[in-house]
A and B are shown apart, each in its own frame.
Chain A
Amino acid sequence: MTKKLILVCCLFVVNPTLARAGDDVPQWLQQAAKINVPSYEKDVQAVVLLNEEQVSVSADGRVTTVQNFAVRILNREGRSYARAGVPYLTDTGKVRELRAWLIRPSGEIKYYGKDEVLDVISDPNDIYNELRVKAVLAKDAAETGAVFGYQATSEDRSIFGEEEWEFQDRLPTLSSRFTLTLPAGWKPASVVFNHAKIEPQVNGNSYTWQLDNLPPIKEEPASPEVTNLAPRLAVNYVPGDGGGGALRTFTNWAEVSRFISELHDPQAEPNDAVSAKARELTAAAKTELDKIRAIGDYVQRLKYISIDFNVGHGGGIRPHTAAEVFAKSYGDCKDKANLMRAMLKAVGITAYPVAIYSGDPNYVREEWASPGQFNHCIIAIKISDDTQVATVIQHPKLGRLLIFDSTDEDTLVGDLPDFEQGSFALIAARDDGALMRMPVTPPEANRLERQTELVLRPTGAVSAKVSEKSVGQSAVEERRLFRHLSRPDYTKRIEAWVTRGTGGARISQISPTDNASGEFSLALEFDAPAYAQLMQQRLMVFKPAAVSRLESLFLTEAKRQYPIVLEPYAYDESVRVTLPDGFQVDEMPDPVKLETPYGSYATTYESKDGQVFFTRKLVQRAATVPVDQYNAVRSFFEKIRAAEQAPVVLARK
């Protein structure tokens, strides 16, 4: 159904009109269209000629934003950049004007006015969402060489005295500037991320930050997110007297903590029903960890749904009451964290909401105290020394805190989604709150262990038994498939995985077990008619890693622009191959042993009593490897691939 909803958005066709009197191309766009564009690599699809935003703040918190944007299309794929999108909140904001122009290489001008503007829901999946987008889509009218530009004026009412600005996305940008106009006597304080500090140009009460000639940001595998590469600006502004007036301002993280606590704490009181359920869930729990697991599992399995009212007034931060969420059996991240907090409280365990950014562990910066840096809510649970798991941090005042994401239903208590590990997050505990680095689990905590028994036949056929156990984020991947695919689809997925390494495999047994402690195990049995290749009835060749051989590399380009981000991961496999009668080992690959700061890898081979024993072990550490070490990282994985592709050669006795 969701697909249908998205599809229908595409049914609307924009039919631009020829420019009429009054729709003349504004001066700034005419000038931008005349700019000579530098030459770029041929895969650069478009170049932003001007990216400008002018924000005017009034003393009562009203904010007026004017956007001027121009982009030149460099090839056919770049046509998709001929678009405008101006978001607004239905409760506090509006888009007063959105006009766009397409200047074709012939000089012909297309105008996009009121009748061509789409008004689109921001997320068709949400049942209720106050965020909408006014948009112009000019892709189908655009062509290589055309310039698309738009100007928009929108109004909103802010609750925070702060602004954020991204100077560019991935496209090269020739001129990017942000201008903030404040009431007399107000002062801005700015911080720039991913770039050296930029001093604003001051003109009366207006402050302008500008960057020019920004190069394209190429997409590379295992790269930092673009939000960690593109220059970003954050500005706080306060009246001259230092007070925020109608606006909420923050100078340190403790203030942000108090602000979030004020919104969350009153919502986290358990009522009788919540308390009763908490007691029921933990009735059989013997330890503190058992209680946390029981409640965590219950909350994670509640249906996720986000319904935020009054977002423009802070409704996006305040959870619904725990009682309400429990009664409805659904909620979003903050609702779930809040309900869990209430349930834990009911059984005598203290917990705190944690504000975090989901999707990029390096997004949140310590130097800018702002709730605007977060988009997600998890939970920190105060635990005793008896509870030992990998996701614990030590808070200077609150003590040991177990960090848990009550929304990600496949990452169990004691683990944390990899995209949150290592991120700065705010423990919201009123005056004791602090921005803290989230735990990073070691590779061993995300390990997969596999034992494989292969019995080779003289024809090259094989009978195989594979037994896997995974924990941490390795288990999450397995669990996600197991929990979310229907049984027939899960079987198909396993069959596809096995046949990728062993063509023609017939699987006779698939036994998955999802253990509440976080371990996921999978046992398989299969036969394949031609696993080993028989050569002239003399030699037999096979690869001892029957499944999940590293076939494909992700670092293959000769040059690299950005650091390599590696996530913690480990696997450890033992393979025992029973050789067919009449054959003996003629040649085995040399063992491999690699040791680097970001990981280690080793293989061993042994032949004994008609059997071959093979082991492989990888430990990949969480790391952001500088780009000057790219060749070494690339070589590390190339060697692993070569090792896993290396065959064993048997010869007839």
Chain B
Amino acid sequence: MKLFPRILVFSAVAVCLGFFLSVRSFAVGGDDWRPIDPSELKSNDPVVDKDADAEVIFWEAKVVDEVQEGVDTVYPRTVINHYLRIKIFTDRGKESQSKIDIPYETDTEIKDLAARTIKPDGNVVELQRKDFFDRTIVKQGGKKVKAKSFAMPNVEPGAIIEYRYREVRNNSLSFYERLDFQREIPVRSVKYSMKPLAIPGFGFQMRPFNGNIQNDFEKKTETFSFWMTNVPAFHEEPKMPPEYEVRPYLLVFYTSADDAERRGAQYWSAFGKRIYDNYKSYFKVKDEVRQAATEAVGSAATDEEKLQKLLDFVHAKIKNASSDASGLTDADRAKLKENKSAADTLKRGVGTERDISLLFGALATAAGFDVRVVRVGNRRESFFNQSLTIPYFLSSYDIAVKVGADWRVIDPSSSYVPMGMLLWQEEGEQALLSDPKEPSFIKTPLSPPQKSMEKRNAKLKLSDDGTLEGDITVEYSGHVGIELKRLNDGDSPAQREQNLRDKIKERMSTAELSEIKIENVTDPVKPFLCTYHVRVPGYAQRTGKRLFLQPAFFEHGIEPLFSSSARKYDIYFHYPWSEQDEVWIDLPTGFSLDNADAPAPFGAGQISQYRVSIGATQDGKTLRYKRDFFFGGGWNIMFPTTSYPSIKQLFEAVHTQDNHTITLKAN
């Protein structure tokens, strides 16, 4: 319980990070500093972004893949020479750029590290060898993660800092390496030089993404160069595309010489055939699999019914070892034997996501379906582009089953994904259908808004002091439900209740919840369901002769989705969704509706519609509020930056209408 015995350190207020220096001049890495342009030192005006607190003047990395010959061995390695020069404009720039950490792992060495500050008056303060700290961040057994850490001396607005080092990654080559061209501060000039290793039978590929990356090749040294200028800083924004859809970068990798030569359809055809070959043995049906398929299908008549039965079977009978809901600990997982066939998975009743998918494929084959493995893009990480011929971006595996003339893509490994849907990141994406003869791309469907619905019902009673109390039922289906199941399935029942409480209190801090029931959390088919009793003191505002009530109970306290006036990146919603609310409120005795006018409906064509109706029962004692909203109709989930004002306006209108208040008048 006692954490830091006998250690007395007056340094608890680590409000910021630090820097370390030596004022004596001693160049660790030799005298290879490039001359400083006096105008750069003198200038206090950012070049790329007028609001910049610091700017990279240049950032260079020379990457060489090579073979290192040891005494008895020959091994590959990547050597990268880094050099950065940064101009500081403000105290914030000083704060963020003064301390440098260079993490590295066991097989990597950091050599020839040198750093210096050029003060605004031109004086140079260079770090000594003792100013660089080699820290072991963590070690266990023979493994270590280390970092070279140092602080730049005398950093102040107007100063320039620069550092350089050699990174040697032993036993490594540039295989699917992402080389970034953007940082958290603007960059005036960034350049990568790349000298790949000539490996017989292999080709080297370099693919630039998301920016105006220029390139060149110097034949004499066999070195490729890629560069950009005036790269703005990277900032996160709400509802933006995946990070690596907007950050400029270079992807470098080795492929077989054959693949390197192939282009477009030719490439994917060869790749799709290889996938088919790799997995075809899994779909050779053994007796026990055939028997299981027969039992699972039972009396199902249609193809749809048969596939549903098979999906239900794998969800019910096979424990997903990767899922939190499996209850397996790491120790349990470590003990699991590898399933080498669908029969193994069936016999053991537990498997990886891949095992479960392949078992489903085998069962479907046994049931007479034509089955393929498909490789699918993953919109969570990036948007797949088949013209790039990089299978790296087809990171998901699913099963395709032929139903009639069409291929139906099914994800049996994700426990909560119902038939007819995929995980959101796999919907609306390209999928490569493996085939022995003609592999092809198919597009996975994007579920319409109605499939991912929050269906909410409230039966409430309003007191004359403004307290609202009653019973709530909320049903989450489709992607909304899948996400909630994944969030909650690893939690204890007590924690699930707390998650719900926190969510409600976030928008209505006075809400008191009781009789909470959260159901179907790990059910593969049924919607995620919450029921509870709620009491919200001070929900409605009371004045002398009126009560003001926001009937949109489920939207009360929600902040506008977009608040910033500026927008840099496209607007990207993960999936279409819809909301359907029905709220019944018994009005307090002594009050009657003064106005119950509903906000006007509005929308954006097939993309989104918002409709509210408000009415009262005939006796005038109960208010009925209905709200229907959807967004993302017509497969519209991505919008260019230029649409931001319209999108923002639409959600502001939703927010305004949701805050619509009705008046109750004292009789």
Contacts and interface: CB of A to CB of B under 8 A. Distances in A.
Interface in B484-503: 490-495, 498
A372 interface: yes
8 contacts: A1-B100, A8-B105, A8-B138, A76-B492, A119-B138, A329-B19, A376-B12, A558-B512
Contact of B6 (A312, A328, A330, A587): A312
Given A127-B19, A127-B135, A495-B564, 18 more contacts: A8-B138, A11-B145, A75-B494, A77-B491, A77-B495, A156-B6, A165-B1, A303-B18, A303-B155, A304-B18, A307-B20, A316-B11, A375-B10, A376-B10, A409-B16, A486-B51, A503-B659, A535-B597
A307 B135 CA distance: 13
B91 A9 contact: no
B137 A8 contact: yes
Residue from the set A51, A329, A483 with the largest chain B CB neighbour count within 10 Å: A329
A587 B544 contact: yes
A591 to B, nearest CB: 12
B208 interface: no
- Minimum-distance CB pairs A-B, first 8: A305-B18, A316-B9, A375-B12, A140-B330, A75-B492, A552-B509, A306-B11, A487-B51
Residue from the set B6, B91, B329, B512 with the largest chain A CB neighbour count within 10 Å: B6
Interface in B135-149: 135-141, 143, 145, 147, 149
Interface stretch (B391-399, B402-410, B438-446, B535-543): B535-543
Interface stretch (B30-38, B284-292, B555-563): B555-563
Interface string A455-475: 000000000000000000000
B327 interface: yes
A603 to B, nearest CB: 13
B15 interface: yes
A250 to B, nearest CB: 12
Interface stretch (A237-245, A380-388, A643-651): A643-651
Interface of B: 1-21, 23, 51, 53, 91-92, 94-95, 98-101, 103, 105, 133, 135-141, 143, 145, 147, 149-151, 153-156, 235, 327, 329-331, 334, 466, 490-495, 498, 505, 509-512, 537-538, 541-546, 548, 557, 559-560, 563-566, 594-595, 597, 652, 655-656, 659-663
Contact of B101 (A1, A75, A140): A1
A610 interface: no
A87 B4 CA distance: 6
Interface string A383-417: 00000000000000000000001011100000000
Contact of B565 (A332, A506, A649): A506
A330 B21 contact: yes
Interface residues of A, number: 132
Contacts of A647: 541, 543, 548, 661
A144 interface: yes
A303 B95 contact: yes
A176 B51 contact: no
A457 B156 CA distance: 49
A197 B138 CA distance: 41
A486 B10 contact: no
Given A12-B140, A486-B53, A504 B541 contact: no
Contacts of A645: 538, 541
Contact of B138 (A118, A301, A377): A118
B7 A311 contact: yes
B495 A75 contact: yes
A371 B10 CA distance: 10
A124 interface: yes
A646 B544 CA distance: 11
B543 A589 contact: yes
Interface string A556-582: 101000000000000000000000000
A444 B82 CA distance: 54
Given A483-B92, A551-B557, A646-B543, A127 B18 contact: yes
A141 B135 contact: no
Nearest to B21: A328
B331 A127 contact: no
Contacts of A359: 12
Contacts of A69: 1
B330 A484 contact: no
Contacts of A144: 492
B11 A166 contact: no
A334 B13 CA distance: 10
A76 B491 contact: yes
B588 to A, nearest CB: 16
B601 to A, nearest CB: 16
Contacts of A329: 19, 21, 153-156
Task: Decide if the interface of chain A is mainly helix, strand, loop or mixed.
Answer: mixed
Interface in A36-72: 42-43, 51, 53, 63, 65, 69
A608 interface: no
Interface in A126-181: 126-128, 131, 140-144, 156, 158-160, 163-169, 176
B103 A488 contact: no
A333 interface: yes
Contacts of A143: 327, 329
B663 A638 contact: no
B510 A306 contact: no
A547 to B, nearest CB: 13
A123 B537 CA distance: 45
B18 A407 contact: no
A416 to B, nearest CB: 12
B94 A556 contact: no
Given A372-B8, A409-B15, A638 B510 contact: yes
A123 B149 CA distance: 13
A533 interface: yes
A262 to B, nearest CB: 14
Nearest to B327: A143
A524 interface: no
Given A375-B12, A487-B51, A131 B4 contact: yes
Given A127-B150, A503-B655, A306 B14 contact: yes
B563 A166 contact: no
Contact of A486 (B8, B12, B15, B92): B92
Contacts of B509: 551-554, 556
Nearest to B328: A143
A131 B14 contact: no
A213 interface: no
A116 interface: yes
A625 interface: no
B510 A556 contact: yes
B563 to A, nearest CB: 4
Contacts of A223: none
A518 interface: no
Contacts of A533: 659-661
B560 A499 contact: yes
Given A355-B10, A484-B95, A488-B235, A590 B18 contact: no
Interface in A226-264: none
B538 A642 contact: yes
B138 A12 contact: yes
A121 B103 CA distance: 13
A545 to B, nearest CB: 13
Interface string A490-527: 01100110111001101100000000000000000000
A641 interface: yes
A128 B133 contact: yes
Contact of A638 (B5, B11, B51, B538): B538
A634 B543 CA distance: 21
A583 interface: no
A377 B10 contact: yes
Contacts of B541: 642, 645-647
Nearest to A43: B494
Nearest to A141: B331
B37 to A, nearest CB: 24
A334 B11 CA distance: 7
A124 B137 contact: yes
A96 B272 CA distance: 57
